[in-house]
Every structure is written in C-alpha cells, then in structure tokens.
Amino acid sequence: MGRPDDDEGTLNEEEGRLFASRDDALGIELQLIHDSREPPRWVEIWTRQRVYWLDVDRLCVAVFDRLTKHQDLAHPFLAGRLAGGEELRQEGVSLSNPLPLPGMKAVFQMPGGRYGRTSPVERVILRVRMNNVEGEEMDRGWDEITHRWAPLLG
C-alpha cells in the first residue's frame, strides 16, 4: 500500500498526474488523479496526528501516522464506516454527512454499532480518479470500476 502525501500535498512516486483545487471557505480539497498506480481511495481525512484513507463505501482502509508516515495496521477505526462529522456547540451538536468539515471530529461507526471519534479534522481531500482506455476496452474499464458493487435489482 502507498503512503500519504506530505503536508504540502506533493505526491509520492507511485502516483500519476495530479490536479488540485481547494475551497478555503469550506476547507475541502479536490484532487483529480490521472493514470495512477496507487491503491484507490476516495477520501483522505487528516487530523493533527493521523491520515485516514476511505474507499468509495466510506470504509476506513488505512490509517497512517503523519509524523512517521508508517501505516497503523491495528488502528481501531480500520473497517469502520465514516458516518460524517460532529462539532459541539453551545446550542447542541452540529452533524455533517457524508463527510466531516475541518474543525469537526470525524465519526466512524464500528462493527457492532458503536461510534468512534477522531481529534479535530484539519483537511478533507476528495480524490477523483481518471484512467484512459482504448475505445474498444471501454466496457472492460467500467467492469474494473463496478465489479465490487452490489447487483442492481430488476
């Protein structure tokens, strides 16, 4: 498995071309990744100490220590599903779904139904992957993308 990008958002050698955009008002970043060989991930959630990788089902597939860049293979949020974010306020609690916003705590639902919370989120990165295929290979390219999905009813 790869490693998280550094704090400046530069890429490691496994990745293809990157185009990035950031909305400072929302605190959400968008990365368009072309022709990457890295392990797929849909979202990265950065806290002060960790980076959480989530797949398209919002399942936590990897956790990294930001300082050492080492993967934590025993982190309790692995295989947990991101529920969203929460922020305590004087009036109560603000909940966001499907993603937390910077300043909120990310909330993961763990197997068995209990919830776990991160420290406050610093970055949320949405990652859109682009891969080029030959025209006659188009359906096979879609099969690669959709093979994990549940069958459609009907």
Are 92 and 83 in contact by the 8 Å Cβ rule? The answer is no
- What global pTM score does this model have? 0.78
Amino acid at 140: R
Does residue 6 surpass a pLDDT of 60?
A: no
Q: Mind listing the pLDDT tens digit for each residue in 8-66? A: 444 443 445 666 676 666 778 988 887 666 777 889 999 999 999 999 899 999 999 99
Distance, in Å, from the CA atom of 59 to the CA atom of 57, rounded to the nearest integer, reads 5
Distance, in Å, from the CA atom of 130 to the CA atom of 50, rounded to the nearest integer, reads 26
Are 141 and 129 in contact by the 8 Å Cβ rule? The answer is no
Paired tokens of 46: 């950065």
